[in-house]
Each structure stands twice: as structure tokens, then as C-alpha cells.
Amino acid sequence: AALAALEDCQRFHTLRFAVASILNAGVGDTQAAVRELFERAQYLQPSCVMLDDADALFSGCSRSHTMTDLLAELTEMLDRHCSPRVLFVTACGSPQLLPASLACRLHVIPLEQE
């Protein structure tokens, strides 16, 4: 629901992190796709890059070369591009499953339990 609300906001551009297409990219193209996404967000600012289910994406795949490359590029782009005008938002049910190198760059906002 929070991600849908962000997409409806007229004040800034929302860019979805298309995990399937990024992971299906060729060798070396994974990093380029992540880099292009954040460079586009920088160009369109104010903007928000959205990644859904990050915990599912990174859990159990930590030894994969593609996932290692993806995580390395993602953390580099977060360090380089995130600012008050370029946001990165991820939704996940188990933030404790996120890799430490990603989790340390995020602010966790827990949802109220119903």
C-alpha cells in the first residue's frame, strides 16, 4: 500500500527496481542496469527507486555471483545517489534477512501490528 501511494504522488518520479529483468541481464549487464536505474533517478529528481520484497530477493542467494554483483552495485549506487531528492524505498517482511551491507544503509520503519 505504501509503494502504491508513492506511485500516485505527482510531486516526484517513481522508478520500480525491475528485479526479473535486471537478474536476467547478461554478464556485466546486471551492474549496468542498476547503475542506469539510479542515474535515471538522479536525472529525474525528485525521484524514488522502489524495490519490493528485498528480503526474498537476497535470502538464500548470497553465494550467487549475480546476486553478489547486484548487491555490490546497489550499495555503491545508494552511497552515490541517495539524497533528500533521490529516495530508495524497499518493502520487506523480514528486514533481519537483508544483507548487512544493505541493511546498514536503510532506515527501518516498522508497520503497526493490527
Answer yes or no: is pLDDT of 69 > 80.
yes
CA–CA separation, 103 and 70 (whole Å): 15
Residue 45 falls inside a structural domain? yes
Residue 114 falls inside a structural domain? no
Answer yes or no: is pLDDT of 45 > 80.
yes
pLDDT tens-place string over residues 71-100: 999 999 999 999 989 999 988 888 888 889
Average pLDDT on 45-66 reads 79
For residue 108, give Cα distances in angstroms to 9, 75, 78, 92: 21, 16, 15, 10
pLDDT of residue 48: 92
Helices (H), 45-90: 54-58, 65-81
Residue 111 falls inside a structural domain? no
Q: Do residues 22 and 67 make contact, with C-beta atoms less than 8 angstroms apart?
A: no
Residue 47 falls inside a structural domain? yes
Residue 71 falls inside a structural domain? yes
Residue 13: domain span:
2-103
**Position 7 confidence tier, pLDDT thresholds 50, 70, 90:** low
Residue 109 falls inside a structural domain? no
pLDDT of residue 1: 47
CA–CA separation, 68 and 96 (whole Å): 18
Number of domains in the chain: 1
Residue 110 falls inside a structural domain? no
Domain CATH for 15: 3.40.50.300
pTM for the model stands at 0.79
Q: Which one, of 96, 86, 102, 11, lies nearest residue 43 by Cα?
A: 86
**Position 19 confidence tier, pLDDT thresholds 50, 70, 90:** confident
Residue 62 falls inside a structural domain? yes
Residue given cell 517482511 in the structure block: 93
